[in-house]
Amino acid sequence: MKRSRHDKIIELINNNVIETQEQLASLLKESGYDVTQATVSRDIRQMKLSKQVTEDGKQKYVYSTADSEAMQDKYISVLRAGYASMDVAQNILVIKTVSGMAMALATAIDALNIPQVVGCIAGDDTIMVAIKSNEDALNLMEDLKKLIEYR
């Protein structure tokens, strides 16, 4: 069932401009899949979907099977596109994003496989990144700022 749902998600995002998890869940339900927002969120992470800015300035989910180096560049561009600010609270890195982009940035951070990162929790415009230590959090914040601000 999951494979079928993932195939349907790819079909839906290739044929529609889907900006939110709620839109994706609604289209899946219309297609006969009984899904919750949590299921859709999990599918987005497992499938490594990311958001891309369209020509008219909207953001839409996209799926890519590109090689890992190309994907790394893509994740960095997602970070640059959605990043607003960042601060650290002990071993928690708090990243503010453009509205609606937190999940995309959290997915990008997870996909970069940063060893110090334990995990991410994303809302609409805020990500909380759990880091192994306070020192690692400070170092990662500086590294991410350099990566994001490098042009």
Total residue count of the chain as it appears in this document: 151
pLDDT, position 30:
96
For residue 67, pLDDT beyond 60 = no
Give the lowest-confidence range in 67-71, 105-109, 146-150: 67-71
Mean pLDDT of 70-79: 77
Distance CA 109, CA 147 (A): 12
- Domains of the chain, earliest start first: 2-62 (1.10.10.10), 68-149 (3.30.1360.40)
pLDDT classification of 94: cutoffs 50, 70, 90 = very high
pLDDT classification of 129: cutoffs 50, 70, 90 = very high
Give pTM, 2 decimals. Answer: 0.57
Mean pLDDT of 106-110: 88
pLDDT, position 63:
82
> pLDDT higher for 69 or 139?
139
Q: What is the 3-state secondary structure (H, E, C) of the chain?
A: CHHHHHHHHHHHHHHCCCCCHHHHHHHHHHCCCCCCHHHHHHHHHHCCCEEEECCCCCEEEECCCCCHHHHHHHHHHHHHHHEEEEEEECCEEEEEECCCCHHHHHHHHHHCCCCCEEEEEECCCEEEEEECCHHHHHHHHHHHHHHHHCC
